[in-house]
A and B are shown apart, each in its own frame.
Chain A
Amino acid sequence: MKRFSLLLAAVLAALPAAADAPGMRNKGSFIQLTTRSWFTFDPAAAFDAVSFIVTGNVYEPLITFKNVDDPEALMPFLASQVPSVANGLLSKDGLRYRFPIREGVKFHSGDPLTPEDVRYSLLRFMLHDIEGGPSALLLRPVLGVYSTRGEDGKIALDFEKAAAAVRVDGDSVVVRLAAPDKTFLKALASLPIVVSKPWSIAHGEWDGTAGSWERFNDRPLEKSYYHDHANGTAPFRVESADAESGSLLLKRHDAYWRAAASLEEVRLRVVPSKALRLWMLENGDADGSYFEDRDFSEAKDLDGVRVVEQPFYASLGEVLFFGFQVDAASPRIGSGKLDGKGISPDFFSNPDVRKGFAAALDYEGYLKRGLGMRGRRAPGPVPELFLPGQAPAATVFDLKAAERHFKKAFGGALWEKGFSLTLAYSPSNASRVVLANLMKAGLEKVNPKFRIEIQRLPSAEIYEEAEAGRLPLFIAGTTPTIRTLTRSRSAFCTARATTRRRSATRTRSSTR
């Protein structure tokens, strides 16, 4: 009987698992397709959707969202508790947050997570402060500033102030805010940024001291060791990466602090062609793929493919960004004057110009031709998920209203002389082409002297150009990278600060 059992066990082991779906390849390996490569692995700089695929699976936050559908409910992650007044970890004045750091967590390098690593990571995130990057998400609540630099671009932050605001106390990290801020915890929950201090120093990164931080402030992305290397605490580690070809291999972190992941590895592949992505998915050459919303009807009809519709989450979709103060030498503002052959660098500081543009856009045409009718009008800078009950979008497609605004702008000179400027977009989402052309068509209908040239730029270049202040008008997909109001507030504030250097670029969010 025993021999029979052994034989049976051997036969069963030799058979393929009966439950596995036909056509499935390599159970432990997951292939995800995307349309473009990532910008950076550096968690203090990552600020776009594809980079987040990497950082969000490689690094971890102190706390996180309990349920994706509820931005209010938080749960502990690398911190073992979420601070509240009730548990005594948040002071009654709402200023001091204590985060007990979880024990038994290991980085991919094998180093244990310490409170000092967490302190270092929070300071690093704030102080590295890449122009147009995410540092303001913590700088604002913790230090009460949006940037470590002043209007002149020079360092304006006192290191000692930052060091005092984030300190280690026993097994905890204590953060003191500049003012009570109910969005601070949600900001933290959206930031997988915890890195190892010793590993950073060993690889030439900031040593954590006052004497050297300025050297690491606003560096070009590629100067950071973290740009193309990673060492987090999350379920996957970077095994190999080639940004040029967009090929990335993540391997399971076997010493993960929760149960190890089911998947042994994840491969990210860049496949710009939609037709090829559809074919690869249907053929079983990929397990998951990114598609635009407009591709829904094609994806849903593929054999063996499951589409999961999601509610209207945090994404604002495609946004047209104005550059309030454009570099006078930018070729995209033509003559640099309001003479019919260009625009002045501060053209979009004029509210009537902005209102005229907003009224000249055929929103429903975009919904139909750009999104395949799959969208809901964005109410404003804050997505509906975070702020239910907002009034419907105030701006409608109305060429007569656009004409009125344009006639008012610049004392009538704009209407009389016309303008010429370049609108830039990145081609990783096809809906942007539609949006750009609708904007152009609307404006040219209002006044044939209004001329828009459309320029297609790679995603990375869009941001480089925007950060350099060389784009008067550009389109980018926008998911507020924090699912709180903080980001939108930041964007709103800075966008309104019309005199501020490179103001429009601070609205940069997650993008495709």
Chain B
Amino acid sequence: MIEEAAAVSDPELRRERYRKISAAAAEDPAQIYTYQPARFSAVRDWVRGLDATDNVNNLRLNNFPYFYSLSKS
């Protein structure tokens, strides 16, 4: 089911397959999922570049800084 879903080209059809898989996983939990947290970053007010959304090198999704984007002034 999972392998088949990965091969589906149409993004919406692919998502639909994954929704079914996710529902099956919720029905028979392989782990217990709790809450997606509301994350935040805390920096001094002299830090610039925290709002950069490009070239993030994947890190903001982990809530950790990509220091290349940051500066102080």
Contact = CB atoms under 8 A, between A and B. Distances in A.
Contacts of B46: 20-21, 23-24, 287
A189 B58 CA distance: 8
Nearest to B46: A21
B40 to A, nearest CB: 5
A393 B47 contact: no
Given A192-B57, A387-B15, A381 B31 contact: yes
A141 B30 CA distance: 23
A381 to B, nearest CB: 5
Interface stretch (A66-74, A195-203, A462-470): A66-74
B45 A305 contact: yes
A421 interface: no
B67 A381 contact: no
B57 A393 contact: no
Given A49-B64, A182-B7, A390 B22 contact: yes
A371 interface: yes
B29 A358 contact: yes
A393 B26 contact: yes
Contacts of A227: none
A383 B34 CA distance: 11
Q: How large is the interface on B (under 10, 10 to 19, 20 to 34, 35 or more residues)?
A: 35 or more
B62 to A, nearest CB: 6
B44 A320 contact: no
Interface string A55-92: 01100110011111100100101000000000000000
A30 interface: yes
B70 to A, nearest CB: 6
Interface in A295-342: 296, 299-300, 302, 304-310, 312-322
A376 B33 CA distance: 11
A52 interface: yes
Interface in B19-48: 19, 21-23, 25-47
B41 A263 contact: no
Contact of B59 (A56, A371, A376, A391): A56
A262 B68 CA distance: 7
A146 B25 CA distance: 19
B72 A235 contact: no
B67 A263 contact: yes
Nearest to B3: A179
B7 A306 contact: no
Contacts of B3: 179
A316 B26 CA distance: 14
Contacts of B59: 52-53, 56-57
Nearest to A388: B15
Interface of A: 17, 19-21, 23-24, 27-28, 30, 32, 49, 52-53, 56-57, 60-61, 64-69, 72, 75, 77, 94, 141, 179-183, 189-190, 192, 234-236, 250, 261-263, 266, 281, 284, 286-291, 293, 296, 299-300, 302, 304-310, 312-322, 351, 354-355, 357-358, 361, 363, 366-367, 371, 374-384, 387-391, 393-395, 435, 479, 483, 485-486, 489, 491-493, 495-496, 504, 507, 510
